[in-house]
Amino acid sequence: MSAPKAGIVLAAAAACLLSACGANGDSPATADPAPDRPLRGTTWAVTEVLGTDEALDPVAAQAHLLIAEDGAVSGSAGCNNLIGTATVRDETATTATIDFRVGTTRMMCEPERMAVENAVLSVLIENTEAAISGDRLTLSRKSGIGLVLSAE
């Protein structure tokens, strides 16, 4: 085989191999998305407050929650420790309606942290809609206020 033909054959073989690499699912562009995290047993960190004009920083406030398998709720609303229960209804693999019954300790914190706490507690009540996508949980109320949380 002549050198030019060998080069063409080699280039064609390389192109074929390179195109096959993306077809087997190993490429980030074609890899399956991260599986949905379970609602229960995952510690969820509040990363965003939805539906408010107030500039809130839930990450700095370290707001987070955990719903245990038995429905016990624990975490931090941003200033105070959070305890209570969650009754999960109408649950599918990625959605649910949750009735939260929570309370907190009674410390006072900086105004910014108290504002985060008030927003978190306004979402953690009855008939809160939950949606999970990968490692992200969105809790929302019909009023438009909500929380975006990330699995830790």
Residue 127: is its pLDDT beyond 70? yes
Query: Which residue type does 55 have?
Result: A
What is residue 138's predicted lDDT score, i.e. its pLDDT?
A: 98
Query: Which residue type does 85 have?
Result: T
Residue 49: is its pLDDT beyond 50? yes
Q: Which is nearest to 149 in space by CA: 83, 65, 88, 81?
A: 65
Please name the fold of domain 43-151. Answer: Lipocalin (2.40.128)
Write the CB contacts of 68 (distance below 8 Å, at least 6 apart in sequence): 40, 41, 74
pLDDT confidence bin for 2, thresholds 50/70/90: low
- Which neighbouring-strand residues pair with 136? 133, 150
> pTM here?
0.76
Give residue-wise pLDDT tens across range 72-110: 999 999 999 999 999 999 999 899 999 999 999 999 999
Is residue 113 within 8 Å of residue 61, measured between CB atoms? yes
